[in-house]
Amino acid sequence: MSASAMWKDRLDALLADPSRQWSEFRGQTRLIVTAEHLSPTMSALRDPCGLDMLIDVTAVDLLEYQGARDRFEVVYCLLNTDSGERLTVSVYLNEPDLTLPSMYPLWKSADWLEREVFDMFGVRFEGHPNHKRLLLPEEFVSYPLRKDYPMQGRGERHNFPVVTRAQS
């Protein structure tokens, strides 16, 4: 039995979620869940399914993607450290509700990963213990990796004090 078939059977036994979608391409397994089912699904993937490491959390702005029905895709990359098997979990979001439950209680590695997604895309993670900007100053009001953000910025850099090499 493949790892993806095992994960599917275990999740189906633990959680009833008819909206869950599985796909596999070139040996890579992907799971799509709704925001409402994210937390219980991730808990089940961690303990019963053995995906004990959160490798990455990122987001994709689908604003101008042909055929896209949602604005954002938040992507979680999970790993079973014993077997090396990987799973990609995706959640789709639309404005104005860009909120997901934090995965920090399950994986401490979610700390900076979720902060980076918030900083660059504006997705908020409920229950995160330190929900503040990671890469940009707190005064920065926009999210630069969104497709509707101008390539040259909005003049924000002129509003911040210049730090010389000697001061840093």
Query: Structural domains in the chain?
Result: 3-159 (3.30.460.80)
- Bond before 96 cis per omega within 30 degrees: yes
**In whole angstroms, what is the distance from residue 90 CA to residue 98 CA?**
14
Helices (H), ranges, the chain: 3-14, 38-46, 110-121
Q: What is the pLDDT of residues 42-74, one digit of tens each?
A: 999 998 889 999 999 999 999 989 999 999 999
The set of residues, in sequence order, having a beta carbon less than 8 Å from that of 15 and lying 6+ positions away, is 37, 40, 41, 44
- What pLDDT band is residue 151 in, cutting at 50, 70 and 90? low
- What pLDDT band is residue 77 in, cutting at 50, 70 and 90? very high
Chain-wide mean pLDDT for the chain? Answer: 89
Among 33-37, 83-87, 135-139, 146-150, the least confident range: 146-150
Three-state DSSP state, 89: strand
Q: What is the pLDDT of residues 2-44, one digit of tens each?
A: 777 888 888 888 888 888 899 999 989 999 999 999 999 999 9
Length of the chain counted residue by residue: 168
